[in-house]
Amino acid sequence: MAFDGLVMAAVAGELAEKLIGGRVERIQQPGPSELVLVIHTRERGKQRLYISADARDARIHITSQSYVNPIAPPIFCMVLRKHLEGGRIRAVQQSGLERVIHLSIDSRDELGRPGEKLLICEIMGKHSNILLVNPDNNNIVDGIHRYSHSVSRYREVLPNRPYLPPPEQNKLDPRQISEEQFRQIMLDSNLESTVADVLLQKIAGIGPQTCRELVVRAGLPPDYRVNHCGDYELTKLWEQVKTIAAMLDNGTFAPTLLLDRRGRPIEFAALDLTHVRAYRREHGEISIILDRYYQSLQQKRLIESQRQSLSQITRKEIARLKKKVDLYRKSLATAEKADKYRIYGELLTANLYHLEQGPEARVQNFYHPEAEEIVIPMDQSLTPSENAQAYFKKYLKAKNTREAVTAHLAQAEAELAYLEAVDNAVSQATDLADLDEIRSELEEQTYLKPKTQQGAKRSKKDQDRPQPLTFVSSDGIPILVGKNNKQNDYLTLRLAQDGDMWLHTKDIPGSHVIIRCHQLGAVPDQTLLEAATLAAWFSKARQAGKVPVDYTYRRHVRKPKGAKPGMVIYDNQRTITVVPSEEIVDKITPEDETKNI
């Protein structure tokens, strides 16, 4: 992803076409580094211009999205409203091929006198900024990011300071260089460098992806080196540079959005990226492409943030339970000595008539088949009879401990298995709805406090019905997959019928899988294999080589009383071993379900 000068040129052309003459109706600042200008135009009605000076996502484009605004507008927003609201956009101009756009806006001051203001948008990574400048004296009115010389030796962004544009990159404009200059640039560069790197360093306005595209369009490999270039290669490269110049002169951009095989945006550019063959490409207006890409990116980050939040909770609880299970197992190992204490007490009692007080007692063990002699440790301060009573007390204590610890251990292991299933669901969640269901489940199980009292007492009517994933096997049979414990319970206990086939990874946290075969009788082998592959793929063993998967009819699956969500027991099962395969998952995924995976 590169918001380069070429993309900025495409944006500038689109803004000039759509916004010039429009009136600034409203200005909003939804975040500390972002602005939304609502602009009314005669031909296209209201347009929402989004500008961001965020270090990661700096950009400018028209958007169709709505943003939540703070109750009290920030100072910079108030300044812009004072100077720009009601004004009309006179011009949109890009500064050379830099990632800087000047919006010239005709407005009026407090006394109603006409004037002009410049809204300058600098899209430059961590140095991005949005500034309001008075063109009469070139002074800054204000900036969304203020800083002094203590931060930047080059310039200050403070009210009433002169505006200095960002430092020049000393690159050559492709519209202004000759073929001889281009050849000299290439020959004077480091011969071990790739052609794409040299283009990136020397030619203005093009980013890494565009540079690779130009190299491929010239008929060369993307990593072709300068020292391999001859007259033919340089001629072909120059022809591609001329196409960029023509594109800039004529405004004939071909905005492109790259998508992965599941329709998720992964890259954008201002020209057709023909060299990227592994993904699907879509074309359209540059603002629509940018809006779609960045919304997807922000959604992905929000999902990842919530995933980490939930994962932190589940893994903390898992670590706590693992320690508890270890302690229980150690206590149980100690309690296993209970029978030995009982035998010691009975042997001492049977031999009291000839035992004397001392550190140990040697007696015949009549519990042993050969009646071997055994040495029993004794407390010298106690009589043999008192030592026997002491061993009986140890026996009773160990016996009671074993019974209690066994119950506690089973409970802790069940809770640990449950939380590992939740953690697996968190790690494989792909949208906010899935994570919300998991959060709701953790709140119900008291691992999380509800955000609000209303959220804690939601009625069943207010809760959305779970939406398991839907697949269709090669034989045309529906296969359903639960994405979390709530969906697993809904799928297995409410949606599936007795004659449906139920699958789950053997002793591994994962999803419940249902083959809707109650009207078919026997399940085709290919469908069973594909369903088992889905069960392995949507489990904690996704990266494993071979995964055992149990399958049985739904009638043999039941939920114990008081069991946690997603926990069931089953019998009459068979086991099939499969290899988790994303290829098979993609093959049986209907087109309208790809967004859910």
Does the pLDDT value for residue 363 go beyond 60?
yes
Crossing angle (nearest 10°) for helices 432-444 and 286-335: 30
Task: From residue 84, give the alpha-carbon distance in Å to each of 45, 107, 117, 537.
Answer: 19, 6, 8, 55
pLDDT score recorded for residue 273: 85
pLDDT score recorded for residue 114: 87
pLDDT score recorded for residue 307: 92
Does the pLDDT value for residue 293 go beyond 50?
yes
For 385-431, the pLDDT digits (tens) are 999 999 899 888 888 888 888 888 988 998 999 999 999 999 988 88
Mean pLDDT to the nearest integer, 549-573: 93
Does the pLDDT value for residue 461 go beyond 60?
no
C-alpha 287/C-alpha 270 separation (Å) is 11
User: Which of 27, 171, 36, 155 shows the shortest CA–CA distance to 98?
Assistant: 171
Range with top average pLDDT, 308-312, 349-353, 428-432: 308-312
Question: How far is residue 147 CA from its own chain's centroid?
Answer: 33
User: Which of 463, 483, 477 shows the shortest CA–CA distance to 596?
Assistant: 483
Does the pLDDT value for residue 591 go beyond 50?
no
DSSP, collapsed to helix, strand or coil, labels residue 295 as helix
For 339-349, the pLDDT digits (tens) are 888 888 889 99
Does the pLDDT value for residue 276 go beyond 80?
no
C-alpha 157/C-alpha 541 separation (Å) is 54
Mean pLDDT to the nearest integer, 444-449: 88
Does the pLDDT value for residue 460 go beyond 80?
no
CATH of 179-283 given 3.30.390.50, 1.10.1060.10, 3.40.50.300, 1.10.8.50:
1.10.8.50
Task: From residue 547, give the alpha-carbon distance in Å to each of 510, 530, 532, 575.
Answer: 11, 13, 9, 10
For 54-109, the pLDDT digits (tens) are 999 999 999 999 888 988 999 999 999 999 999 999 999 999 999 999 999 998 87
Numbered ranges of CATH 2.30.310.10 in the chain: 5-143
Going by pLDDT thresholds of 50, 70 and 90, the confidence category of residue 278 is low
Task: From residue 397, give the alpha-carbon distance in Å to each of 120, 123, 234, 325.
Answer: 80, 73, 89, 20
% of residues, the chain, pLDDT over 90: 63
Mean pLDDT to the nearest integer, 197-210: 92
Does the pLDDT value for residue 141 go beyond 90?
yes
Going by pLDDT thresholds of 50, 70 and 90, the confidence category of residue 463 is low
pLDDT score recorded for residue 272: 87
For 213-225, the pLDDT digits (tens) are 999 999 999 999 9
pLDDT score recorded for residue 597: 34
Work out the burial of residue 296: count CB atoms within 10 Å of its CB; fewer than 13 is exposed, 13-18 middle, 19 or more buried. Answer: middle
C-alpha 287/C-alpha 253 separation (Å) is 12
DSSP, collapsed to helix, strand or coil, labels residue 17 as helix
pTM given for the model: 0.78
User: Which of 504, 516, 487, 480 shows the shortest CA–CA distance to 557?
Assistant: 504
For 164-188, the pLDDT digits (tens) are 999 988 899 999 999 999 999 998 9
Give the residue with greater pLDDT, 433 vs 49.
49
Mean pLDDT to the nearest integer, 330-353: 85
For 10-63, the pLDDT digits (tens) are 999 999 999 999 999 999 999 999 999 999 998 889 999 999 999 999 999 999
% of residues, the chain, pLDDT over 70: 96
Q: Taking the C-alpha atoms of 287, 292, 296 and 302 in order, what is their torsion angle to the nearest 10 degrees?
A: 60
pLDDT score recorded for residue 455: 45
Write the CATH number of the domain with boundaries 5-143: 2.30.310.10
Number of helices (H), then strands (E), in the chain: 14, 22
Numbered ranges of CATH 1.10.8.50 in the chain: 179-283
Average pLDDT of the chain to the nearest whole number? 89
Does the pLDDT value for residue 595 go beyond 50?
no
Going by pLDDT thresholds of 50, 70 and 90, the confidence category of residue 452 is low
Q: Return the HEC string of 529-593.
A: HHHHHHHHHCECCCCCCCEEEEEEEHHHEECCCCCCCCCCEECCCEEEEECCCHHHHHHCCCHHH
Does the pLDDT value for residue 242 go beyond 70?
yes
Does the pLDDT value for residue 592 go beyond 70?
no
